Structure 1
Amino acid sequence: MCGRYAAVTPPQAMEALFQTLGSLPNFPGRFNIAPTQTAPVVRWNAQAGERRLDMLRWGLVPSWAEDLSGGAKMINARSESVAEKPTFRQAFARRRCLVPVTAFYEWRMENGAKQAYAIAPANTETAAFAGLWEGWRDPASGEWVRTYTILTTAANDTIGHIHHRMPVILTPEHWPAWLGETGAETPALLDLLRPYPANQTRFWAVGARVGNVRNDDANLLAPQTARCLL
């Protein structure tokens, strides 16, 4: 799974990279994004014919949910079942998105304690997770809340010893199909949901402070000495 990640690229740079239009969110960059928090998401606005960069709440809440409480458990969607699972299948068919990311975090037990690792593509400073989004309307206030989830797949050989799953990272040539700008049938979309190439993935040990959601600073990505050699 992916339960914590960093996105430190300024909105203006995200706009240039993802070629979005419209107003930009006030986003100073985050080093420790956690479930139920808001973060930048790229979506395709079919009516306007353009990509938009918006702030959405992490943890997908289906339109038919009674409240937002279940979103904390829906931060990830397994790519192997996303097209069939009732919680995700409509979003997979109609509401796909990209989630800008600098690195994500995973933990593993080493010498009786959890060691945190940062993981990132080796060939780009800003990558894009494959995501889904939904709109949920509060029955009491009538307010709309937009939420998202991150798709996961089997980990590649570079990081499989840290965790057996990893987020799906899409390269730029696949962004139009995933966003819905160009037509793509379900088999073609599912074929995109594969592990990122092992030879293009890097990882490094980081400090324990990343485990506390209240910590959010550049030092969280600073390399540390792991408790054991990998």
Structure 2
Amino acid sequence: MCCRYALLQNHANAILAQAGVLLGGGEAPRSRHNIAPGTGVPAVRNRPGRSDREAVALHWGLVPSWTRDASNPSPNARAESLAEKPTFRDALRQRRCLIPASGFYEWAIHGRERRPWLFRLCDDTPFVFAGLWETWRAPGGDLLESCALITTTPNAVMEPVHHRMPVLLADTAAWDRWLDPRVTQPDALLPLLQPFPAELMTAVAVSSHVNSVRNDDPLCWEPAKPETQLGLAF
């Protein structure tokens, strides 16, 4: 699973500019170092019923439109089963999105401890996750727009820490393909959902400060003390 990530304000600005969109009144969200499910996250999608793009805030944790109960949202969606699972198959065809990020976290099991790692690109540039979105109407009539990050098998950097990783779309050509409303067949989309090249990624053990979702500040990115990294280097 991928249930925590970070997005710096300058990185959000860069991604939105590359995608040709603005969020809200033109201001990117503030830097966030510990984004968790259940919160609003910036995303880029096609405007419903149109081919041009927009930047929106989506609730992280996808709630399918057909459910009566929004109490069990899905923050992640496995690439291998998207085309079959009722929760995701319609969104795969019609409601895809890009979710900007600066890095993401995963926890390695070390004895009885879970130790956090931060994964970023080697050149410290931002990237986007491949995502899906849905609209759910509550019994009272309120609308909830929500999203899920797609996960795939791990690359060589990720594998020592976890058996899954989020799908990172490598370049703007992949972004365009993922958002293209003319592409609706799963067979044309699933080839995009591959592990990101390991040689372009880096990982560092970070402070346990990130363990609590209440902590959302640059200390989340602080490298762990050397003694806590013993046995975890790769």
TM-score normalized by the length of structure 2 = 0.90
Note if contact 1:110-1:227 (Cα within 8 Å) is conserved in structure 2: no
1:16-165 pair list within 5 angstroms: 16-21=17-22, 23=24, 24=26, 27-45=29-47, 47-71=49-73, 74-140=74-140, 142-165=141-164
Distance 1:79 1:47 in 2: 25
Q: Which amino acid aligns with 2:15?
A: M
Q: Which consecutive unaligned segments of at least 5 residues does structure 2 have?
A: none
Whether the 8 Å CA contact 1:20–1:50 is kept in 2: the answer is: no
Number of the residue aligned with 2:221: 221
User: Gaps (5+ residues) in structure 1?
Assistant: none
Q: Answer yes or no: is the 8 Å Cα contact 2:44–2:54 preserved in 1.
A: yes
Distance 1:46 1:192 in 2: 22
The one-letter amino acid of 1:19's match is G
The residue number in structure 2 matching 1:5 is 5
- Whether the 8 Å contact between 1:156 and 1:197 is mirrored in structure 2 is yes
1: CA distance, partners of 2:23 / 2:203: 35
In 2, distance between residues paired with 1:22 and 1:163? 33
Contact 1:104 1:119 in 2 (8 A): yes
1:4–1:33 CA contact under 8 A, matched in 2: yes
Shift of 1:115: 1.2
| AA of the residue aligned to 1:154 | T
State the alpha-carbon separation in 1 of the partners of residues 63 and 69 from structure 2.
Answer: 8
- 1:139 positional shift: 1.7
Specify the SS of the correspondent of 1:69: coil
Q: 1:177·1:184 contact (CA, 8 Å) conserved in 2? A: no
Q: Which secondary structure state, in structure 2, belongs to the residue aligned with residue 70 of structure 1?
A: coil
Moved over 4 A (4+): none
- 1:223 and 1:181 map into 2 onto residues whose CA distance is 41
Query: For residue 208 of structure 1, what is the aligned residue in structure 2?
Result: 208
SS at match of 2:9: coil
> RMSD of the TM alignment (CA)?
1.8
Distance 1:184 1:88 in 2: 13
1-side partners of 2:71 and 2:49: how far apart?
A: 31
1:23-54 Cα offsets, whole Å, 9 max, x none, are: 34662121111111111011012645321111
* Structure 1 match to 2:166: 167
User: How far apart, in 2, do the equivalents of 1:212 and 1:147 lie?
Assistant: 23
Distance 2:203 2:129 in 1: 17
Query: Distance in 2 between the 1:191 and 1:123 partners?
Result: 25
Q: Hey, what's the Cα distance between the residues in 2 that align with 1:97 and 1:9?
A: 19
**Percent identity between the aligned chains?**
39
Size of the alignment, in residue pairs? 227
Taking structure 1 as the reference length, what is the TM-score of the superposition?
Answer: 0.92
State the SS of the aligned residue for 1:56. Answer: strand
Structure 2 distance, partners of 1:77, 1:2, is: 10
Contact 1:110 1:228 in 2 (8 A): no
